[in-house]
Structure 1
Amino acid sequence: MPIDFHDSRNQSTYTTRVAEEQWLRTIEEYVDFKGKHVLDVGCGGGIYSKAFALSGAAHVTAMDFSVEMLKGAKENCKDVNNISFIQGSALDTNLKEQQFDILLERALIHHIADLTACFQEANRVLKPNGRFIIQDRTPEDCALPGSETHIRGYFFEKHPKLIEKESIRRYSSHKVKTVLEQTGFHRIIELQYWETRKTYNDFDQLRDDLLNRTGRSILHELTDDELMDLVKFIETKIGHLQHINERDRWTLWIEEK
């Protein structure tokens, strides 16, 4: 069954990673976040809120619709003093108009049924010329084959029903760009980006991560037995490699109000 983001048992599932330095440098090419006020909607475990806060943002507001996710984020960011946490929805943040210089929605829009309402709210809370960063996977990103670095591709090779699920919930690039234009945004750039998800010393560490479904909502669609079969399948594909550098491909849209 799908992951329950309101379940306290899932509170820390998105707190075990850190944002990679190259991700920040890529964003920095198009968005000046130094000294700026940032809103991170759908902050999850606070990974990217923390990255902005520690890299020069004046203040970061981390928002999630799940109180349990926010508890995990607060714990993850407890040593960072320029982050505040609030519960809220991407469709109705209940924040003042034109309050933020930068808005990040990472791994969020595939959970949103009304993309127009989501982007309209983003436009409302951004200052004039504010930058809107969206990061998510398109169906094309999800369908890439598995490899010793793209572990996610094996999920769909072993369990084709998962790619059907992904295709339904993921937006095409054309759809995202169309709705952004309709809601008053102007494109800075669209790019495909391979982001390091995590590095494992050996397959045992990867196995534990997979079996715990850590930060992988799609794996909640599998039964425990199906998940075990998947882990065994991946083991036959990549063997007992040392130093596994897992990477996922995302699409980034960077827009200006």
Structure 2
Amino acid sequence: MGIDFADPGNRRTYAARTADREWAGFVGVDGSAAMVSGARERAASPGRARGSRAGGGALRFVVADAADTGLTAGAFDAVLQRALIHHVADLRAVFAEARRILRPGGSLIVQDRTMADVARPGSPEHPRGYFFERYPRLLEVERARRPRAEGLQAALAEAGFDVVRQHALAEVRREYASVDELAGDLRSRTGRSILHELDDAELADLVDFVASKYPDAARPRETDHWTVWTAR
């Protein structure tokens, strides 16, 4: 069924984490008014960031298309497209807009999962892999939307970027106080759009399956695997 990013009920799906103070002064762009609303609520809540960067301003959020942000040309040192491009039909247009708003010599950072990242086997440090072990059909959903390196690099070149570097990133997503806390996070589908492909009964089954992989007293530490492309 997929996640409905326009549904106000999903507005906090990607707004639950604590931001580092280094993000002060950045501009967040999303095409969903609901998602931007959730981000604004989170940014205004106590404890939303670990202090404020010296000389940095508040986070600012804009509702706009990634291919037409409306932001000032040449105004930014860096653009980060995190978990964006697997939702995008026209990569060249999105990359061209990033190049337009970057200053000369600025960097575009694209962070997403390839199929190699997605297909990593499940383990106590990588519970996401258990999703596909239990429900193999989810792999086909991923296969239809995940970027291929050659197509991505071609689209970057067409948009005018000449230097592209690619590397793997292992990112600690969260450390949980207990298996029950991990289970609760999975039930909420927080930050995991792929779980919206499951109905409620399937999700409950998946949560039980994942929980069974841990001893009762475990304190799970979840690591996500990504591919990052840096372009100039």
TM-score by length of 1: 0.82
Which aligned segments of 4 or more residues in structure 1 are displaced greater than 6 angstroms? Answer: none
Query: After the TM superposition, which residues 190-209 of structure 1 pair with which residues of structure 2 at under 5 Å, given as runs?
Result: 190-209=166-185
Mapped contact 1:100–1:125 kept (Cα < 8 A): yes
Larger strand share, 1 or 2: 1
Q: 1: CA distance between counterparts of 2:44 and 2:67?
A: 27
| SS state at 2:177 partner | strand
Matched residues, number: 222
Give CA-to-partner distance per residue, 1:156-181, whole Å, 9 cap, x none: 01101100000100001222122112
Mapped contact 2:26–2:59 kept (Cα < 8 A): yes
Q: Which residue of 2 aligns with 1:82?
A: 58
Q: 2: CA distance between counterparts of 1:241 and 1:113?
A: 44
Mapped contact 2:168–2:227 kept (Cα < 8 A): yes
| SS state at 2:44 partner | coil
Give the AA of the match of 1:55.
Answer: E
C-alpha displacement at 1:188, in angstroms? Answer: 5.1
Mapped contact 1:101–1:127 kept (Cα < 8 A): yes
C-alpha displacement at 1:96, in angstroms? Answer: 2.5
Structure 1, unaligned stretches of length 5 or more?
19-49
Q: Which residue of 2 aligns with 1:68?
A: 34
Q: Which residue of 2 aligns with 1:128?
A: 104
Structure 2, unaligned stretches of length 5 or more?
46-51
Q: 2: CA distance between counterparts of 1:92 and 1:60?
A: 18
CA RMSD of aligned residues (A): 1.6
| SS state at 1:214 partner | coil
Give CA-to-partner distance per residue, 1:208-256, whole Å, 9 cap, x none: 1111111110000001111111111112223324221001100011111
Q: Which residue of 1 aligns with 2:94?
A: 118
Mapped contact 1:147–1:238 kept (Cα < 8 A): no
Bigger drift between 75-84 and 166-175 goes to 75-84
Q: Percent identity?
A: 44
Mapped contact 2:76–2:106 kept (Cα < 8 A): yes
Q: Which residue of 2 aligns with 1:46?
A: none
TM-score by length of 2: 0.90
Mapped contact 1:187–1:253 kept (Cα < 8 A): no
Q: Is structure 2 residue 20 aligned with structure 1 residue 4?
A: no
Query: After the TM superposition, which residues 1-257 of structure 1 pair with which residues of structure 2 at under 5 Å, given as runs?
Result: 1-18=1-18, 50-51=19-20, 54-55=21-22, 59-78=25-44, 81-187=57-163, 189-256=165-232
Give the AA of the match of 1:121.
Answer: E
